[in-house]
Structure 1
Amino acid sequence: MTAPGGRPILRAFFVHFLTASGAVFAMLAMLEASQKDWSMMFLWLVVAFFVDGIDGPLARHYKVWDNAPRYDGVLMDLIIDYLTYVFIPAYALFSSDLLPGWTGWCAIIVITYTSALYFADTRMKTTDYSFSGFPGCWNMVVLVLFAIEPNFWVSLAIVVILAALMFLPVKFVHPVRTARWRWLTLPMAVAWTFFAGWAAWVEFHPESWAHWGLIVTSLYLVGAGALQQLIWREVL
């Protein structure tokens, strides 16, 4: 039997192992992307997104920085996030027909380059644990683009605008850590995850009701932080 004093350590290591599973889901998503099975790719990315959403609260609850300091959970999380949030979605955007020719090249260069800079930014978090600038959630953006299939000029404009917003003093809420409006933001993030999984499951069928859910929840998650800044006149 494990001594009572060893349980916090085991639980902390379990959280690290849970975080590391995101690398496996990233590989499974990449294998599906290589076969251009976009629905399965996004399903694995949604699973990785779900894991990323719960490992942080678990890490804080079980104090992994004290009970399992051998592994740097923050570094591990950033590595996996770059794969699942940036690299694989950018590849999918390039390999699909959403951005043809030079527009696809432009998108993947902009996405991967700006995201690498942003993920290394020591000031990406605000005092209320929101994000300063667009947090590089390209997995969410690209999934919505696959669902609604806008004109390629619209898709390219969305990519360029969001990339620019990475470096502007605009707040984006963290669904779990931003306390203000969390009663609404967290359910919105959960709903987005559900709609994303359903849209991918039905292979982005154009008549799927999940697409409307994706649009509504995405607009809230993108704009809630800026709206808070506007109402309370906050400066990052």
Structure 2
Amino acid sequence: MTPKLRAYFVHLFTATGAVFAMLAMLAAVEERWSLMFAWLVVAFIVDGIDGPLARRFHVQTHAQKIDGVLLDLIIDYLTYVFIPAFALFQSGLLPGWTGWAAIIVITFASVIYFADTRMKNPDNTFAGFPACWNMLALVVFALTPPFWATLGIVVLLAVAMFSPLKFVHPVRTARWRGLTLPAAMAWTAAAALAAFYDFAQPEWVSLTLMITSIYLILAGPAQQVIPERRRLGPPG
């Protein structure tokens, strides 16, 4: 297979995320929440794999006719923002005006964030909360906190999108990757199990979701507070 063909196959792999988004949306319309999140987890896995593949096969060099960054952003908005916001509203977990407030805040703030050219920092962290509303929605479905707590978290994270806080990328952020990547993998496994159990999951799954979610949210800000150790070169 030629380098050009491999590069275009990476784009096609990324584009499958749009199919999984449609399948998730169809499940959401029917209020089949476990199935919806199962498809979102599949899309999340694709999103985690396609980036390393794109860099490995140099898609910007061999497949320039397709903008992989734009393709990824379109799919991410559907799977990270639009469908999770609909689920929070339609499920009744945010009743009355709180549901309207949440979907307006999430969709409006996120579309501005996705268009912000300063989304990524030089150290491969995100500048501000990276609009991972799919992760928040799944945790809310699994743990069912009080609606006022959910709304408060939505507002705080929406504000954090435009703050100077950093948020780690589980694959690309080099610092603490040895902890961040396993945490992201554990979160994904726990999320899949919660959906499999139709959100009547065992307590250890809920605990895994809580611990890994807290770590993934706070790791970036913690890195801003904790100075990085400088590596000492060889003597001489």
Fold match (TM-score > 0.5):
yes
Structure 2 equivalent of residue 38 of structure 1: 33
Gaps of 5+ in 2: 229-236
Residue in 1 aligned with 2:52? 57
Q: Is the 8 A contact 1:199 1:208 kept in 2?
A: no
Provide the C-alpha distance between the structure 2 equivalents of 1:73 and 1:205, rounded to a whole number of angstroms: 38
Partner of 1:130: 125
Task: Give the alignment partner of residue 138 of structure 2, picking from 143, 146, 149.
Answer: 143
Picking from 81, 86, 99, the partner of 1:104 is: 99
Given that 2:194 and 2:201 are in contact with CA atoms closer than 8 Å, whether structure 1 keeps it comes out as no
What is the distance in 1 between the residues matched to 2:219 and 2:99?
A: 29
The answer to whether 1:226 aligns with 2:221 is yes
Letter in 1 for 2:82: F
User: Which of 72, 77, 81 is 1:77 aligned to?
Assistant: 72
Any idea what SS the aligned residue of 1:58 has?
Answer: helix
String of CA shifts for 1:154-191, please: whole Å, max 9, x gaps: 00000000000000000000011110000110111111
Equivalence for 1:165: 160
Partner of 1:202: 197
Are 2:193 and 2:201, in contact at CA under 8 Å, matched by a contact in 1? Answer: no
Structure 1 residue 133: deviation in Å?
0.3
| Cα distance in 1 between the residues matched to 2:45 and 2:198 | 19
Unaligned runs of 5+ residues in structure 1 are none
Alpha-carbon distance in structure 1 between the residues aligned to 2:49 and 2:184: 12
Aligned alpha-carbon RMSD (Å): 1.0
Task: Tell me which residue corresponds to 1:118.
Answer: 113
How many percent of aligned residue pairs carry the same amino acid? 64
Partner of 1:175: 170
Which runs of 4 or more aligned residues in structure 1 lie more than 4 Å from their structure 2 counterparts after TM superposition? none
Using structure 2 for the length normalisation, give the TM-score. Answer: 0.95
Please give the alpha-carbon distance, in whole angstroms, between the structure 2 residues aligned to 1:206 and 1:99. 21
**How far apart are 1:91 and its partner, in Å?**
0.2
The superposition leaves residues 100-138 of structure 1 with CA deviations (integer Å, 9 ceiling, x where unpaired) of 000000000000000000000000111101001000000
Q: Secondary structure of 1:142's match?
A: helix
Counterpart AA for 1:94: F
The farther-off stretch of 37-46 and 201-210 is 201-210
